[in-house]
């Protein structure tokens, strides 16, 4: 009996030591742990596949019982939203195209210039303490560690582990995730900048009345009523300047343009929304209001290219001194219901493995 | 040679690996989809706790370490972390036979629930110890409570399976 006990104690010591060595190797980024995981996956995937087939009816029944009301409500809401957004999408697509053309004309990087791979989400992390999903594209499709992942709404996360035909995506809400972002703040009351030297007083000024007629609905998109987005019949007084014959210099009104400040977005787990810290409390930036959009900042050391939509500010917590406010973020991507994602084939410099 | 092979096949540890593979299949599919109160049931923690409750601390630790190592291969946390946590869970559950001489099914279920709750709390603590901070939040107590409740319900179903799996030998 004591011999068996000694044997078991040796086994316990050996297994514990193996675990500690594996932890050390994995934290050092050793490839051996990935090889072990990959080898185990080869044997385990068929078992998982069979289990998935067997348990699918039970999973579906569970979803049916627990989510029926939510799904019907969501369907109604989505139908209404689709009708509203179909029209807006046409206008937005035109604006995006114009913006991309302008950026390309000036030699600035755009998302349109980055290739991407579409993937399906095939599983969540089977743990209560990690925020990862598994997708069905891997190194065979050109996916590499560090590449940003987004869905139709916005940024979702980044690739953390790559296998030949699958990858692991760390979601934005994981406490390990941090990303440089921009907050685009619209100044509340932008005062025009007057340059007394540059501006030439107009020779004469008069006031005229302009009537903007209500546009007729012209959309032929089914389910879209453009009446909700058209301007009402308005009468406004516009001061019209009649320039003199002397040359004039136009100074752009910077105060009316959106102002951008950078900060760091940090995930805080599934039960708490991500936050943005280290925003400068510059006077020009003004007060950040809920609803201000958050986009990726880009840059040579950033994890993602610029201007990927991340979310909007939901709450602003001011702090004393120069530490700047903390912003709570409503993510635009619904991370609880991910089905399809897009991997941008953009590997940040910081994630590239040196030969 | 053939006797050795039969011994190896009929060994409790071989059975453990096979049964744990099947349970892990359910863990990564069915239990991954069904999340009551937003918390995933942890059948691997349940298995380690059941092993400890039935066969004592030593078998509980070895079973926990082995199935933990398998579980590590599908998790994204550092390899070996779940192994140590499940080993500790098996050890804690293994204290039960020392305190209760003639146990019934319901006090075994309670012991499994307590060990599961402690094991579930150990996960984020272990993550913090290796530098993966951010998971030690008040939420872990909610997660531990839900996991304990689910495991208490599932324990009477899994205890016979664990008893059969870790039986010393099926031959001779």
**pLDDT over 90 for what percent of chain A?**
14
pLDDT digits (tens, 9 = 90+) for A98-112: 777 777 777 666 666
CATH of the domain at B64: 1.10.1760.20
In a domain? residue B52: yes
pLDDT digits (tens, 9 = 90+) for A138-162: 999 999 998 999 988 889 999 998 8
Smallest Cβ–Cβ distance between B33 and the set A59, A161, A269 belongs to A59
Say yes or no for a CB contact (<8 Å) between B73 and A123.
no
Final residue before a domain boundary, out of A79, A106, A140: A79
Range from A63-67, A258-262, B79-83, B128-132 that averages highest in pLDDT: B79-83
Strand, coil or helix: A7: helix
A–B interface: beta-carbon pairs under 8 A: 159
In a domain? residue A247: no
Does B169 contact chain A (CB < 8 Å)?
Answer: no
Q: Which residues of A82-113 are buried (b: 16+ CB within 10 A; e: fewer)?
A: eeeeebeeeeeeeeeeeeeeebeeeeeebbee
pLDDT digits (tens, 9 = 90+) for B33-73: 888 888 999 999 999 999 999 999 999 999 999 999 999 99
Number of helices (H) and strands (E) in chain B: give both, helices first: 8, 0
Q: Are residues A40 and A185 in the same domain?
A: no
In a domain? residue B172: no
Helices A2-27, A31-105: crossing angle, 10 deg rounding: 20
- Give B 118-157 residues with CB within 8 A of chain A: 120, 123-124, 127, 130-135, 137, 139-140, 143, 147
Domain limits for position B82? 9-165
Which is nearest to B88 in space by CA: B107, B110, B115?
Answer: B115
Say yes or no for a CB contact (<8 Å) between A23 and B21.
no
pLDDT digits (tens, 9 = 90+) for A191-205: 444 444 444 444 444
Bridge partners of A179, per DSSP, are: A265
Say yes or no for a CB contact (<8 Å) between B77 and A20.
no
Nearest-angstrom CA–CA distance, A318 and A325 = 4
CA distance B27 to chain A (A): 7
Find, in chain B, the residue whose alpha carbon is nearest to that of A52. Answer: B29
Supply the pLDDT for residue A103: 74
Supply the pLDDT for residue B125: 93
CATH of the domain at A355: 2.40.10.340
Cβ neighbors of A88 (< 8 A, separation 6 or more) are A229
Say yes or no for a CB contact (<8 Å) between B22 and A37.
no
Q: Which residues of chain A have a CB within 8 Å of the CB of B64? A: none
Q: Are residues A266 and A159 in the same domain?
A: yes
Q: Which of B81, B129, B135, B150 should be substituted to probe chain A, the one whose Cβ sees the most A Cβ atoms within 10 Å?
A: B135
Q: Are residues A167 and A267 in the same domain?
A: yes
pLDDT band at A215 (very low <50, low <70, confident <90, very high): very low
Confidence check: pLDDT of A228 > 80? no
Say yes or no for a CB contact (<8 Å) between B79 and A25.
yes
For A353, which DSSP code? Answer: P
Supply the pLDDT for residue A68: 85
Which is nearest to A177 in space by CA: A271, A262, A275, A260?
Answer: A275
Q: Are residues A169 and A27 in the same domain?
A: no
Confidence check: pLDDT of A243 > 70? no
pLDDT band at A222 (very low <50, low <70, confident <90, very high): very low
CA distance B39 to chain A (A): 7
Q: Would you say B61 and B87 are in contact if contact means Cβ atoms under 8 Å apart?
A: yes
Which is nearest to B26 in space by CA: A119, A240, A58, A157?
Answer: A58
Confidence check: pLDDT of A126 > 80? no
Q: Are residues A135 and A9 in the same domain?
A: no
In a domain? residue A211: no
In a domain? residue B25: yes
pLDDT band at A224 (very low <50, low <70, confident <90, very high): very low
Q: Which two tokens stand for residue B83?
A: 């192994």
Bridge partners of B136, per DSSP, are: none
Confidence check: pLDDT of A260 > 70? no
Is the model more confident about A44 or about B99? Answer: A44
Averaged confidence pLDDT in chain A: 75
Say yes or no for a CB contact (<8 Å) between B79 and A5.
no
Q: Average pLDDT in the A210-231 region?
A: 42
Say yes or no for a CB contact (<8 Å) between A269 and B26.
no
In a domain? residue B2: no
Q: Which of these ranges, A41-50, A184-193, B26-35, has the smallest mean pLDDT?
A: A184-193
Q: Which two tokens stand for residue A165?
A: 């035909």
In a domain? residue A221: no
Q: Which residues of chain A have a CB within 8 Å of the CB of B26? A: 51, 55
Q: Which two tokens stand for residue B51?
A: 């092993």
Q: Are residues A70 and A123 in the same domain?
A: no
Supply the pLDDT for residue A193: 42
**pLDDT over 70 for what percent of chain A?**
70
When divided into structural domains, chain A yields a total of 2
Q: DSSP strand E in A204-301: where?
A: 204-212, 234-242, 259-266, 275-277, 293-296
pLDDT band at A130 (very low <50, low <70, confident <90, very high): confident
Q: Which two tokens stand for residue A161?
A: 């582990």
Smallest Cβ–Cβ distance between B130 and the set A16, A27, A50 belongs to A27
Burial of residue B44, with CB atoms counted within 10 A of its CB: 0-12 exposed, 13-18 middle, 19 or more buried: buried
Find, in chain B, the residue whose alpha carbon is nearest to that of A28. Answer: B78
Supply the pLDDT for residue A206: 45
pLDDT band at A2 (very low <50, low <70, confident <90, very high): low
Supply the pLDDT for residue A353: 63
CA distance A19 to chain B (A): 4
Q: Which of B41, B69, B76, B145 should be substituted to probe chain A, the one whose Cβ sees the most A Cβ atoms within 10 Å?
A: B76
Q: Would you say A151 and A335 are in contact if contact means Cβ atoms under 8 Å apart?
A: no
Smallest Cβ–Cβ distance between B84 and the set A19, A43, A160 belongs to A19
In a domain? residue A86: no
Nearest-angstrom CA–CA distance, B104 and B110 = 10
Q: Which of these ranges, A58-67, A207-216, B58-67, has the smallest mean pLDDT?
A: A207-216
In a domain? residue B142: yes
Confidence check: pLDDT of A349 > 80? no
Which is nearest to A125 in space by CA: A158, A58, A178, A171?
Answer: A171
Q: Would you say A205 and A241 are in contact if contact means Cβ atoms under 8 Å apart?
A: yes
Is the model more confident about A329 or about A243? Answer: A329
Say yes or no for a CB contact (<8 Å) between B84 and A58.
no
Domain limits for position A45? 1-79
Q: Which residues of chain B have a CB within 8 Å of the CB of A63? A: 33
Q: Average pLDDT in the A218-239 region?
A: 42
Q: Which residues of chain A have a CB within 8 Å of the CB of B121? A: none
In a domain? residue B3: no
Q: Which of these ranges, A238-247, A261-270, B5-14, B37-46, has the smallest mean pLDDT?
A: A238-247
When divided into structural domains, chain B yields a total of 1
Confidence check: pLDDT of B154 > 90? yes
Nearest-angstrom CA–CA distance, B112 and A234 = 72
Helices B81-93, A2-27: crossing angle, 10 deg rounding: 150
Q: Are residues A134 and A277 in the same domain?
A: yes
Q: Are residues A61 and A144 in the same domain?
A: no
Smallest Cβ–Cβ distance between A36 and the set B66, B79, B135 belongs to B79
User: What is the per-residue DSSP string for A92-154?
Assistant: HHHHHHHHHHHHHHTT---GGGS-EEEEEEEEE-SSTT--EEEES--GGGT--TT-EEE-SSS
Confidence check: pLDDT of A280 > 70? no
Strands A178-185 and A204-212: unpaired
- Residue B126 CA from chain centroid, whole number: 16
Is the model more confident about A218 or about A268? Answer: A268
Supply the pLDDT for residue A236: 45
Q: Which two tokens stand for residue B23?
A: 């349970």
Length of chain A: 355
């Amino acid at each position: 009996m004591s011999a068996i006990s000694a044997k078991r104690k040796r086994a316990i010591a050996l297994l514990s030591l193996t675990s500690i060595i594996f932890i050390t190797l994995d934290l050092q980024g050793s490839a051996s742990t990935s090889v072990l995981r990959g080898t185990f996956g080869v044997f385990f995937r068929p078992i998982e596949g069979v289990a998935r087939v067997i348990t699918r009816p039970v999973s579906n029944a569970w979803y049916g019982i627990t989510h029926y009301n939510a799904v019907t409500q969501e369907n109604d809401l989505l139908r209404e939203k689709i009708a509203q957004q179909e029209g807006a999408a046409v206008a937005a697509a035109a604006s995006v195209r114009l913006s991309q053309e302008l950026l390309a004309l000036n030699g600035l990087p755009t998302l349109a210039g980055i290739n991407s791979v579409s993937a399906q989400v095939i599983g969540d992390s089977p743990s209560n303490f990690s925020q990862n999903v598994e997708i069905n594209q891997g190194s065979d499709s050109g996916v590499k560690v560090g590449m940003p992942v987004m869905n139709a709404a916005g940024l979702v996360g980044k690739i953390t582990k790559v296998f030949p035909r699958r990858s692991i995506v760390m979601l934005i809400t994981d406490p390990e995730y941090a990303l440089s972002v921009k907050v685009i703040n619209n100044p509340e009351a932008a005062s025009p900048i007057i340059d007394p030297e540059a501006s030439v007083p107009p020779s004469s000024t008069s006031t005229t009345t302009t009537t903007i007629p209500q546009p007729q609905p012209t959309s032929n998109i089914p389910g879209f009523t453009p009446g909700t987005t058209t301007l009402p019949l308005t009468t406004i007084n516009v001061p019209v300047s009649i320039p003199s014959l002397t040359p004039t210099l136009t100074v752009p009104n910077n105060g009316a343009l959106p102002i951008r400040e950078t900060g760091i977005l940090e995930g805080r787990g599934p039960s708490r929304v991500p936050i943005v810290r280290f925003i400068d409390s510059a006077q020009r930036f003004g007060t950040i209001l809920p609803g201000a959009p958050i986009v990726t900042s880009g840059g040579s050391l950033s994890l993602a290219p610029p201007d990927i939509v991340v979310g909007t500010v939901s709450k602003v917590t001011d702090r004393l001194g120069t530490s700047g406010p903390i912003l709570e973020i409503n993510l635009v991507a619904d991370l609880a219901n991910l089905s399809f994602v897009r991997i941008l084939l953009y590997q940040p410099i910081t994630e590239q493995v040196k030969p | 040679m053939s006797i050795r092979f039969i011994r190896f096949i009929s060994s409790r540890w071989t059975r453990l690996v096979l049964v744990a593979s099947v349970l892990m299949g359910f863990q990564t599919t069915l239990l991954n989809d069904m999340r009551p109160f937003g918390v995933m049931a942890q059948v691997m923690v349940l298995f380690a706790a059941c092993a400890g409750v039935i066969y004592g601390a030593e078998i509980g630790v070895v079973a926990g370490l082995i199935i933990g190592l398998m579980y590590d291969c599908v998790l994204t946390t550092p390899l070996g972390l779940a192994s140590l946590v499940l080993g500790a869970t098996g050890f804690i559950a293994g204290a039960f036979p020392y305190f209760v001489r003639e146990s019934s099914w319901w006090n075994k279920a309670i012991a499994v629930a307590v060990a599961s709750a402690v094991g579930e709390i150990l996960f984020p603590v272990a993550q913090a110890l290796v530098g993966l901070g951010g998971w030690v939040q008040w939420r872990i107590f909610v997660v531990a409570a839900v996991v304990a409740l689910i495991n208490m319900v599932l324990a009477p179903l899994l205890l016979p399976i664990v008893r059969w799996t870790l039986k010393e030998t099926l031959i001779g």
